[in-house]
Amino acid sequence: MSLAVDDLQVYYRTLRGDVRAVDGVTFDIADGEIMGLAGESGCGKSSLGNSLVYLTGRMKYVGGTVDLDGTKLPIWDFEAMNEHRFRHISVIPQYAMSALNPTRKIGAMTADLVGSRGVPYKHVAGEFIRRLELVGLSKDVLGMYPIELSGGMKQRAVMVVSTLLDPSLLIADEITSALDVSTQKAVAEMLVEFRDRGFVKSMVVITHDISILYQVADTILVMYAGHLVEKAPADVIIGAPSHPYTRLLISSLPEVGVRYTERRLHGIPGTPPPLLAPPEGCRFRDRCPLASAKCVKRPPFRELEPGHHVACWEVGG
Residues in contact with another protein by CB under 8 A are 13, 15-16, 40-41, 180-182, 184-186, 188-189, 208-212, 214-215, 238-241, 244, 247-260, 262-271, 273-274, 276-277, 286-287, 289-290
Taking alpha carbons only, the member of 172, 154, 200 closest to residue 91 is 172
- Least distance CB 89 / another protein (angstroms): 27
Residue 69 and residue 33: Cα distance in Å, rounded? 13
28 versus 209: smaller Cβ distance to another protein: 209
99 versus 265: smaller Cβ distance to another protein: 265
Residue 181 and residue 30: Cα distance in Å, rounded? 30
- Least distance CB 276 / another protein (angstroms): 7
- Least distance CB 198 / another protein (angstroms): 21
- Least distance CB 212 / another protein (angstroms): 5
112 versus 286: smaller Cβ distance to another protein: 286
**For helices 151-162 and 181-196, what crossing angle results, to 10°?**
20
**For helices 151-162 and 121-134, what crossing angle results, to 10°?**
140
Which phi and psi (to 5°) does residue 20 adopt? -90, 80
Could you tell me the maximum CA-CA distance found in the chain, to the nearest angstrom? Answer: 63
80 versus 258: smaller Cβ distance to another protein: 258
Residue 238 and residue 212: Cα distance in Å, rounded? 12
- Least distance CB 177 / another protein (angstroms): 10
1 versus 240: smaller Cβ distance to another protein: 240
122 versus 264: smaller Cβ distance to another protein: 264
Residue 221 and residue 201: Cα distance in Å, rounded? 18
Residue 108 and residue 116: Cα distance in Å, rounded? 12
200 versus 220: smaller Cβ distance to another protein: 220
Question: Which pairs with CB-CB distance under 8 Å and at least 24 residues apart come from 251-256?
Answer: 253/210, 253/211, 255/211
- Least distance CB 299 / another protein (angstroms): 17
- Least distance CB 302 / another protein (angstroms): 20
> Are 281 and 296 spatial neighbours (Cβ–Cβ below 8 Å)?
yes
